[in-house]
Structure 1
């Protein structure tokens, strides 16, 4: 065995270790915050407020997550993902613990909203996908991104029922405290990325600066189309993640059924995200994204037309789960495919900000429309229209890598 092959084997071992640890970080980060939806009924009941208050806290969370994601991505690109993940995990844990001590709308906005949102920017897909993607060769990269996406859904499947069980057994305050302490596990897991360096200490062979990368992306039409499409993803998944348990109770079902439905979304998205990663390595990512968004609209229409029942909620959750975060490996993969890996964290972070603007509106409008009309029907209709919009805007995207002029010789 040659020295070169030894080095290659070592790098692949490192890649798989990072994939495992990154997957667990993603599972914790996404799974814990996915469980916040089961807090909605008890918090609103105890504080004597409408659903819009806690929904607005989670809307702030989504918006702050998106707003800080490009900066966390830039830190990861520059200094390496280890620092971004550790900082994010610490802020995430503080925010989740403070939910337990929130006795007013303002404290909920700070804890569940601003702090958890900022923490998510360092512990979620924007950082993990890029960090893992750098360690795998191009022919295995889409598969690896699909595994990371599936891990987040596995966390949702495992941790949402845990959150529901904790709320039922010890109350929402102690449940938030335990979940906040559990999120600190992400810090030791981040050491798997200790050797993944940023461009400051391990520059990529390219003369492109951060400013040039941003200018290139901002003047490229396909980047804006991708960004617009990801807005729809955020709108739909955030609304469903927060309001589905409450929607189940409106149909005469229990909160537990709503929580189980969210868990089922996570379980089926393990299949969906992994499959999207595999398919993204074989077929056109933009066409796959178009089909995914259109399929979401069909699933919502079928749910609204079906007679309300426990089976209907579970069937909806399973079908939507297959389409849930399947967009993430495909969208992030397109960013890397078009612009390269050097500034992928930052550029995907900007696309993700659009996703989180959609999340903010989906969560907040869900609560607002319900409080004003006593029904979620209006927000479901908006989601169907957005599915059609997203299906159309992905179609003209140019997937090929941008051809750049080589740097002049010195």
Structure 2
């Protein structure tokens, strides 16, 4: 905490306030993103050259821009401070929503929803926010703090749908987007709270040496591969579960209820995983999460689907949904320290987004070629087992405990 006699400044840089601000930023940024699909029908119905394909491309580009820009946002945050990056990201996010609200063609929609919001997300979501929060807490409390910050994103996902639906129903869709842009501007107000220094300063280490250290470390590579699987699984299920239920002749309401159940149990799961991560081995909890996902999917696909089995499946999946975030981020911080946490987590999340892209896209491709989702469901099962297996060899010990020195690249054999 910066040395100061000013009570307001001491409060602003108190780790608890940093955690609160980071949670609220994640709530706004990730929550609003979850509701963008609700704009498909009103926008496609009012703009002459926007159909489902054009809207889908804008959202797909948003995911891609989010993933590609995230490591760079993390690097800039680690070099110049998270507060500056989050402030600029909030401006881009709000500007993208305003741009989309004023769009008269698909190009404006792609620029707003796709490019500006995508880059804005890279600066206001997990990598930069969790990097800032992780730097303000000591190792023994860090994973639970990361879990609480991630909980903000989970709560935002849960709240976003009813709020956005209410805005669209009571206002025109352009006005609803402008209203969301005003909410996004809150990110800029909260950004200064995430400007505190790390509790683990390591001024001697350079970004280049930190990257070399991580990319040479077998555990980091395995974490990256595991998070790729996480993105693949969640994007497929989140995108295609409602259609799968309709294919099995279940009621149309069930798809929305299943996604709402995932959002609700996700809140509890993220918090529990964060707390357990400060007590137990994080990699072992991740192994359990991936195996639980695979088991839940296998049972769900093998059973004759019903309302009850679907909601039970959604509850189990929701509990494991984002619990991987504080655990994976916590392992990165535990091994490499918090100095370049935003950069390293940005690389991990880039692979998550690539997995997300493939999960959503391959789900549709496989269905179009086979007429069902069977191959994808069993790919989710197999990939979850693989992710569990590759987490087992990860060495969670800190490089500092192993005698690492700043600037030296170590290999985890």
Instruction: Report what 1:282 is aligned to.
Output: 279
> Residue 253 and residue 82 in structure 1: after superposition, are their counterparts in 2 closer, same or farther (change >3 A)?
farther
d(CA) in 2 for partners of 1:270, 1:75: 30
> Residue 251 and residue 332 in structure 1: after superposition, are their counterparts in 2 closer, same or farther (change >3 A)?
same
Normalised by the length of structure 2, the TM-score is: 0.86
Instruction: Report what 1:323 is aligned to.
Output: 320
Instruction: Report what 1:15 is aligned to.
Output: 15
Instruction: Report what 2:224 is aligned to.
Output: 227
Is residue 200–residue 338 contact of structure 2 (8 Å, CA) maintained in 1? no
Is residue 34–residue 241 contact of structure 1 (8 Å, CA) maintained in 2? no
Instruction: Report what 1:123 is aligned to.
Output: 124
> Residue 182 and residue 278 in structure 1: after superposition, are their counterparts in 2 closer, same or farther (change >3 A)?
same
Q: CA offsets per residue over residues 98-155 of structure 1, 9 Å max, x none?
A: 3344565544443332222211111111111111122122221111111111111111
Q: CA offsets per residue over residues 51-105 of structure 1, 9 Å max, x none?
A: 6554443332222111111111111111111111111111112223333445655
d(CA) in 2 for partners of 1:301, 1:43: 37
SS of the aligned residue for 1:397 comes to coil
d(CA) in 2 for partners of 1:260, 1:90: 33
Deviates more, 1:139-148 or 1:310-319: 310-319
Q: 1:351 aligns with which of 348, 353, 372?
A: 348
Verify: 1:301 aligned to 2:298, yes or no.
yes
> Residue 43 and residue 124 in structure 1: after superposition, are their counterparts in 2 closer, same or farther (change >3 A)?
same
Instruction: Report what 2:27 is aligned to.
Output: 27
1:4-403 alignment runs, 5 A limit: 10=10, 14-40=14-40, 53-102=54-103, 105-167=106-168, 170=171, 172-194=173-195, 196-197=196-197, 204-251=201-248, 257-373=254-370, 375-402=372-399, 403=402
SS of the aligned residue for 1:205 comes to coil
Is residue 158–residue 263 contact of structure 1 (8 Å, CA) maintained in 2? no
SS of the aligned residue for 1:119 comes to helix
Deviates more, 1:73-82 or 1:238-247: 238-247
SS of the aligned residue for 2:338 comes to coil
Instruction: Report what 2:411 is aligned to.
Output: none
d(CA) in 2 for partners of 1:102, 1:250: 35
Is residue 12–residue 18 contact of structure 2 (8 Å, CA) maintained in 1? no
> Residue 103 and residue 318 in structure 1: after superposition, are their counterparts in 2 closer, same or farther (change >3 A)?
farther
Q: CA offsets per residue over residues 136-191 of structure 1, 9 Å max, x none?
A: 22221111111111111111111123234444555655544433332222111213
d(CA) in 2 for partners of 1:254, 1:39: 23
d(CA) in 2 for partners of 1:174, 1:253: 35
Q: CA offsets per residue over residues 266-293 of structure 1, 9 Å max, x none?
A: 2211111111111111111111111111
Give the aligned CA root-mean-square deviation in angstroms. 3.2
Is residue 78–residue 339 contact of structure 2 (8 Å, CA) maintained in 1? yes
Q: What residue ranges of structure 1 are gaps of 5+ in the alignment?
A: none
Is residue 19–residue 148 contact of structure 1 (8 Å, CA) maintained in 2? yes
Is residue 227–residue 351 contact of structure 1 (8 Å, CA) maintained in 2? yes
d(CA) in 2 for partners of 1:394, 1:405: 22
Q: What residue ranges of structure 2 are gaps of 5+ in the alignment?
A: 408-413
d(CA) in 1 for partners of 2:30, 2:282: 24
> Residue 253 and residue 83 in structure 1: after superposition, are their counterparts in 2 closer, same or farther (change >3 A)?
farther
d(CA) in 1 for partners of 2:374, 2:164: 27
